[in-house]
Amino acid sequence: MDKVFITRKISADALEILTSIANVEIWPEETPPQKDTLLSKMEGISGLLSLLTDPIDREVIVKGKNLKVISQMAVGFDNIDTKTATTNGIPVGHTPGVLTEATADHTWALLMAVARRIVEAHNEVHDGIWRPWGPDVLCGMDLSGSTLGIIGMGRIGKAVARRAKGFGMRILYYDTSLQKDIEAETGAIFSDMKNVFSQSDILSLHVYLSETTKQLVNAKTLALMKPTAILINTSRGGVVDSIALTNAILEKKIAAAGLDVFDPEPIPLNHILLQQKNVIITPHIASAGKTTRQKMAQIAVQNLINGLRGEPLLHCANPEVYSKSK
């Protein structure tokens, strides 16, 4: 029987078929296995089911002498050295599609919470401060009529655009290719990146982390933004230069931010951004809908099974692997 290592507990339903065809070991802790543990587990396994917090680098991959498949339970796979996986003939699975709506929902929750200062208002009430109704009290941004900029108009960017349409927003976007379908559906307008940064009232990031998107939001691009603008990031922390963002918030170069991801994660407890009322931070939970997480687990397990059987994965992050021989 093939041996499989799963780096965290996942939905029991999803595991059922797998346990009948493979010898499965599940890491029991809430925190990821340390690198040394991961390296020792790689010896002898044919399949690895990983999460985005597991650094699956070259050293880990080459240690898996019998490895047939890496299956990640996430849409993003920047924690995996896919080049080494490809060179070694190992397909890498991921779980796009099923988490689109949940991630767009969370993006929208952050966006609304920041725009309408929900956390700040909630904290005031809990602190015993109920300010009398006043024309200027806790005023935020009106969404209707404002411009939402979307960088990365893939599945999640499109789901966010649909929500923006419902809220009466103007939508600008930048992507590496024109997305005519969403233009027709929502009236979104393609623009160059510089324009999206400078014209948006709210800018939302929906790109994979790669060499080209790393620190796409930096001192230079933040300087293009309106001083009244809000930045929302539910993509990857590394897409934003954290130091530049911190400076932009402290120097009021932008008005506020809603972040589900940060570089590094977790954000250090003494980080000055945690003391800012205009910054809302959640701990990388954008896809955390119960049904969504079940579906992600099911796809991850199916990818793993397909990989063990030498069949094509449902969603493969390195499809070029199929044109290479091991």
Q: What is the 3-state secondary structure (H, E, C) of 61-127?
A: HHHCCCCCEEEECCCCCCCECHHHHHHCCCCEECCCCCCHHHHHHHHHHHHHHHHCCHHHHHHHHHC
CA distance 74 to 286: 11
CA distance 309 to 303: 10
Closer to ligand GLV by CB, 75 or 150: give it: 75
Active site residue 284: yes
Cα distances (Å, whole numbers) of residue 37 to 34, 46, 65 = 5, 16, 16
Please give the residue ranges that form the binding site for ligand GLV (CB under 6 A): 52, 74-76, 99, 287
Angle between helices 118-126 and 100-115 in degrees, nearest 10: 60
Catalytic residue among 265, 311, 315, 320: 265
Catalytic residue among 284, 309, 311, 320: 284
Active site residue 8: no
Closer to ligand GLV by CB, 85 or 248: give it: 85
Closer to ligand GLV by CB, 76 or 140: give it: 76
CA distance 239 to 213: 6
Other beta carbons less than 10 A from residue 251's beta carbon: 10
Tokens of 123: 């904290």
Closer to ligand GLV by CB, 170 or 206: give it: 206
Active site residue 120: no
Picking from 49, 48, 52, 54, the residue whose alpha carbon sits closest to that of residue 34 is 54
Shortest distance, CB of residue 173 to ligand GLV, whole angstroms? 20
Shortest distance, CB of residue 121 to ligand GLV, whole angstroms? 28
Catalytic residue among 236, 251, 271, 293: 236
- Is 96 in contact with 76 (CB distance < 8 Å)? no
Closer to ligand GLV by CB, 52 or 69: give it: 52
Give the active site residues. Answer: 236, 265, 284
